[in-house]
Structure 1
């Protein structure tokens, strides 16, 4: 079920759904949400922590992926009227950075939940920029107890 009728772009609302705070925020839009999938957006700016020489660097792409997973958790807890727990990257598998995006471009990150058991979530992630897949990964995240 897609519970996002219009993209959510309210920065303070988005930031309340994830544990990261500025300048470490790498998601700014929620395009789509369901129990097994989320699509986030992020417009890259020159002042972003991982921007360098006009490009958004690989660690920023990995962080964008992880924050999209956190956004899924945060929004699902928001819908239940509960405070979201903090999560951590347990492992990164098959991370592949194909191309670095430029400042001013927008990322669209899709996370598909493969398994979610007892606070451990295995996800498959694709990052798109201007219709082109620029990064791929599989991650395991763990919720703090």
Structure 2
């Protein structure tokens, strides 16, 4: 069940929900939120740190996936009126980059929460654009104390 009434695309609010700050923000939209899933969006601008030759590079895709997980956690805390915690990528079990998106190509990323216990979250992530799968990942994120 989507707990969002409408998509959040206010850049200031998105930055409040994640620990990263500009120019290192790799999410710009919260589309869906539930306890077990989050759907985010991101359209990499030409000025993005991970853009090279009009392509959004693999490192940017991985950071985007991690920030999508952070956005899930940040919104959970936002609903409790608490500040978003800092988290880290603990492990990447799988990172499959199938295609590099171009600048200004909207990415839609679905994060499925597989397990969440004691600040450690295991997730499965899929990044799509125009109904094409761009990347898949399984990662573990860890909240800082």
For the 8 Å contact 2:16–2:84, the answer to whether it is kept is no
1:17-36 pair list within 5 angstroms = 17-36=17-36
User: RMSD of the alignment, in Å?
Assistant: 0.6
Give 2:109's aligned residue.
Answer: 109
What is the rounded CA distance, in whole Å, between the counterparts of 2:81 and 2:2 in structure 1?
18
What is the rounded CA distance, in whole Å, between the counterparts of 2:119 and 2:57 in structure 1?
29
**TM-superposed deviation, 1:94:** 1.2
SS at match of 1:7: coil
SS at match of 2:96: strand
- 1:13 aligns to 2:13 (yes or no): yes
Give 2:43's aligned residue.
Answer: 43
1:1-145 pair list within 5 angstroms = 1-145=1-145
What is the rounded CA distance, in whole Å, between the counterparts of 1:84 and 1:20 in structure 2?
10
Which range is displaced more, 65-74 or 81-90? Answer: 81-90
Deviations 1:9-39 (A, max 9, x none): 1000000000001110000000000001000
- Unaligned 5+ segments in structure 1 are none
Deviations 1:99-137 (A, max 9, x none): 000011000011000000111110000000111111000
- Unaligned 5+ segments in structure 2 are none
**TM-superposed deviation, 1:82:** 1.1
**What TM-score does the superposition give when structure 1 sets the normalisation length?**
0.98
What is the rounded CA distance, in whole Å, between the counterparts of 2:3 and 2:38 in structure 1?
11
What is the rounded CA distance, in whole Å, between the counterparts of 1:67 and 1:127 in structure 2?
12
**What TM-score does the superposition give when structure 2 sets the normalisation length?**
0.98
What number of residue pairs does the alignment pair up?
145
